[in-house]
């Protein structure tokens, strides 16, 4: 029996080594299950590999939305975005995960108040609650998160006053726009923040004096706020100790002002008298003439927009306007576009862009294309093929018009703007980190690959791919606009339009430039050749890290994965070799995105 003891001990050790171990305490697993039950996942529970039950482990069983550390020992991230969750958020349960760093439930339908227990998540660095239906006030305890860096509570129904965030010394961004907060703008360590917005609330009083880093967009939509960056200026406190000299100076200005007013009145009186004389003369002349010259115009008729005037003069507007079946247009007629005022919002070498809002309708965008040598029938056939090729990340055409002089395309106006504006303009407090940029690249590559595949036989590429033609829908999902409106000219001296392979090669090159734009954060001039040469030269000198946007470096984005995406971009723009197809590019980026999502974080993400 004594001889058997070492053998049994050996078996026991092997059992301990090779048996599946629980990475979290059973009490933590139970708390997570309760947390999910209160979120009311509904049909999501039938998703393969969903997990979230007490009979499995969140790390070794890879529960949906859960990321653990590199050793699969403890939960680090819980990301449950766009899952149609409709319950309540139970901080008391989820904060029992002692090493939780990231909690994101963006873009669901979660209701209820935010609990005071949020402060129990002591190691939390990222809290994302945007795009839900939270109500009530923001608990003061949220300022008790000692390690939090990013807070996004935008696009909810939160009310009450915002607490004092100045004690959060690690906070880098706060997004609270599109809620119903009242009271003053609270104190923050503004000089430390790289992202901030409290736009579209009901805040009042002056904006803090030390917020020079953030423009009016961060505070817009609060009519009771005042400040030098805002339309409403704060009242200046008067100094009651004005001396006699100041009084004399002001009195002198007043006398001088009166003299100027008198002179202006005399000039106006003389001008009006002259106009009356002219009107009398014209009236007498009209009475002596024929009555057939009466004006048929209306005093209240609006001036037509540039595209409307040209289109009308070309004749046959109603018969040439094709309105597609879409709930957006809702019975729109071409005459509605003619009557609606148009605002010029962009002009390029291929045409102009107008924002139009017909009476009782949604805002639309009209793309006006001039001097395109294509027959009406060919244009119609081309548009029909594009319209039939539907993809969720391609902005659909809702109507179009064709004449000899010009072509018009009508789209729904996207109020969240373009990728170009988000990268190089005002971000309105929106974060655009590495994960968001990689996700956008993946979505656009996928959409472009789909369109290329479906329209390959018709040889219809995008033709004008650039960051200003990538727009954001209401949910900030990216979409391609103006697909197929510019035929690639084989005689164009632009080297990116080389037609030696396929008519889609220029799209690949243009997409590579967009990837460089995402990675460097630098705007593109002309066709992007300047940015391409700069990046290539830096990489050649083996200073690759200098290429990347500093915001991504500060964020702590994976340098390894950024380098991989950079290599994909360089393959796209390399004119000395055959570029990959957009389908191959899409597969590469999709794989990179999956790797990013699977990445194990042992420290601050």
63 close to 23: Cβ distance less than 8 angstroms: no
pLDDT at site 536: 87
Extract the tokens encoding 444.
């656009």
Q: Are strands 202-206 and 406-412 parallel, antiparallel or unpaired?
A: unpaired
Interval 483-491 mean pLDDT: 63
Extract the tokens encoding 430.
């929106």
pLDDT at site 273: 56
Rounded to an integer, what distance in angstroms lies between the CA atom of residue 604 and that of residue 149? 10
Rounded to an integer, what distance in angstroms lies between the CA atom of residue 38 and that of residue 89? 7
Q: Taking the model in full, what pTM does it have?
A: 0.52
63 close to 593: Cβ distance less than 8 angstroms: no
Q: Which phi and psi angles does 29 have, rounded to 5°?
A: -60, -45
Taking 90 as the threshold, does the pLDDT of residue 537 lie above it? no
Phi and psi based region of residue 351 (left: phi greater than 0; alpha: psi -120 to 50; beta: remaining): left
Is the pLDDT higher at 573 or at 282? 573
Domain assignments of the chain as residue spans, ordered by start: 20-226, 306-412, 419-598
pLDDT per residue as tens digits for the range 459-477:
899 988 999 999 998 878 8
Residue that has been written with the tokens 């990046």 in this structure: 535
The dihedral through the CA atoms of 319, 321, 326, 329 has a sign that is negative
Count the neighbouring beta carbons within 10 Å of the beta carbon of residue 274. 10
Interval 496-508 mean pLDDT: 66
- Does the annotation flag 270 for ligand binding? no
103 close to 124: Cβ distance less than 8 angstroms: yes
The CATH number of 20-226, from 3.30.930.10, 1.20.59.20, 3.80.10.10, 3.60.21.10, is 3.80.10.10
Tell me whether domains 20-226 and 419-598 share a fold: no
The CATH number of 419-598, from 3.40.605.10, 3.40.50.300, 3.40.980.10, 1.10.510.10, is 1.10.510.10
Rounded to an integer, what distance in angstroms lies between the CA atom of residue 222 and that of residue 203? 6
3-state SS assignment for residue 217: helix
Rounded to an integer, what distance in angstroms lies between the CA atom of residue 52 and that of residue 75? 13
Nearest to 597, CA basis, from 104, 151, 182: 104
Taking 50 as the threshold, does the pLDDT of residue 13 lie above it? no
pLDDT per residue as tens digits for the range 158-216:
999 999 888 787 788 899 999 999 999 988 887 778 888 999 999 999 988 555 678 88
Q: What's the Cα-to-Cα distance from 600 to each of 48, 241, 335, 400, rounded to whole Å?
A: 21, 66, 58, 49
Extract the tokens encoding 158.
């939160």
CATH class held by domain 306-412:
alpha beta
pLDDT per residue as tens digits for the range 398-449:
888 887 777 888 898 998 889 998 888 755 556 688 888 999 999 999 999 9
């Amino acid at each position: 029996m004594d001889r058997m003891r070492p053998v049994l001990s050996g078996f026991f050790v092997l059992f301990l080594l090779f048996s599946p171990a629980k990475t979290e305490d059973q009490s933590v697993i139970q708390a997570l299950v309760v947390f999910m039950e209160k979120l009311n996942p509904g049909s999501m529970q039938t998703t393969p590999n969903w997990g979230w039950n007490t009979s499995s482990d969140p790390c070794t069983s890879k529960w949906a939305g859960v990321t653990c550390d590199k050793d699969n020992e403890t939960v680090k991230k819980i990301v449950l975005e766009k899952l149609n969750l409709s319950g309540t958020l139970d901080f008391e349960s989820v904060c029992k995960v002692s090493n939780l760093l990231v909690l994101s439930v963006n873009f669901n339908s979660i209701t209820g108040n935010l609990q005071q227990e949020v402060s129990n998540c002591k190691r939390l660095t990222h809290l994302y609650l945007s795009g839900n239906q939270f109500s009530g006030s923001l608990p003061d305890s949220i300022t008790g998160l000692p390690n939090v860096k990013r807070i996004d509570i935008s696009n909810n129904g939160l009310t009450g006053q915002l607490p004092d965030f100045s004690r959060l010394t690690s906070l880098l961004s706060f997004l609270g726009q599109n809620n119903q907060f009242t009271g003053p703008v609270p104190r923050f360590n503004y000089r430390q923040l790289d992202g901030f917005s409290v736009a579209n609330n009901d805040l009042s009083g002056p904006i803090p004096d030390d917020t020079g880093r953030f423009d009016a967009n961060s505070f817009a939509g609060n009519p009771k706020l005042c400040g030098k960056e805002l339309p409403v200026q704060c009242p200046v406190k008067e100094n009651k100790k004005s001396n006699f000299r100041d009084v004399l100076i002001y009195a002198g200005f007043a006398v001088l002002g009166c003299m100027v007013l008198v002179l202006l009145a005399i000039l106006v009186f003389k001008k009006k008298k002259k106009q009356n004389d002219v009107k009398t003369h014209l009236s007498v002349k009209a009475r002596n003439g024929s009555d057939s010259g009466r004006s048929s115009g209306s005093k209240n008729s609006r001036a037509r927009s540039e595209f409307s005037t040209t289109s009308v003069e070309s004749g046959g507007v109603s018969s040439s306007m094709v309105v597609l079946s879409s709930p957006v247009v809702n019975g729109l007629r071409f005459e509605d576009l003619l009557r609606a005022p148009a605002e010029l919002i962009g002009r390029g070498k291929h045409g102009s862009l107008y924002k139009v809002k017909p009476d009782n309708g949604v805002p639309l965008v009209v793309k006006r294309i001039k001097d395109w040598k294509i027959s009406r029938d060919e244009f119609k056939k081309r548009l029909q093929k594009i319209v039939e090729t539907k993809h969720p990340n391609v902005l659909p055409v809702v109507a179009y018009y064709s004449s000899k002089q010009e072509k018009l395309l009508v789209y729904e106006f996207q109020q969240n703007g373009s990728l170009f504006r988000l990268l190089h303009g005002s971000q309105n407090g929106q974060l655009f980190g590495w994960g968001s940029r990689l996700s956008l690249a993946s979505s656009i590559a996928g959409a472009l690959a789909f369109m290329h595949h479906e329209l390959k036989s018709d040889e219809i590429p995008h033709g004008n791919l650039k960051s200003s033609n990538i727009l954001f829908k209401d949910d900030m999902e990216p979409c391609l606009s103006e697909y197929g409106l510019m035929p690639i000219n084989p005689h164009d001296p632009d080297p990116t339009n080389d037609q030696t392979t396929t008519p889609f090669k220029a799209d690949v090159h243009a997409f590579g430039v967009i990837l460089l734009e995402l990675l460097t954060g630098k705007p593109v001039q002309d066709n992007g050749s300047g940015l391409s040469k700069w990046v290539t030269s830096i990489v050649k000198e083996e200073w690759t890290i200098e290429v990347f946007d500093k915001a991504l470096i500060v964020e702590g984005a994976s340098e390894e994965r950024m380098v991989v995406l950079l290599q994909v971009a360089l393959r796209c723009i390399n004119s000395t070799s055959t570029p990959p197809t957009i389908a191959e590019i899409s597969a590469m980026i999709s794989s990179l995105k999956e790797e990013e999502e699977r990445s194990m974080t042992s420290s601050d993400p």
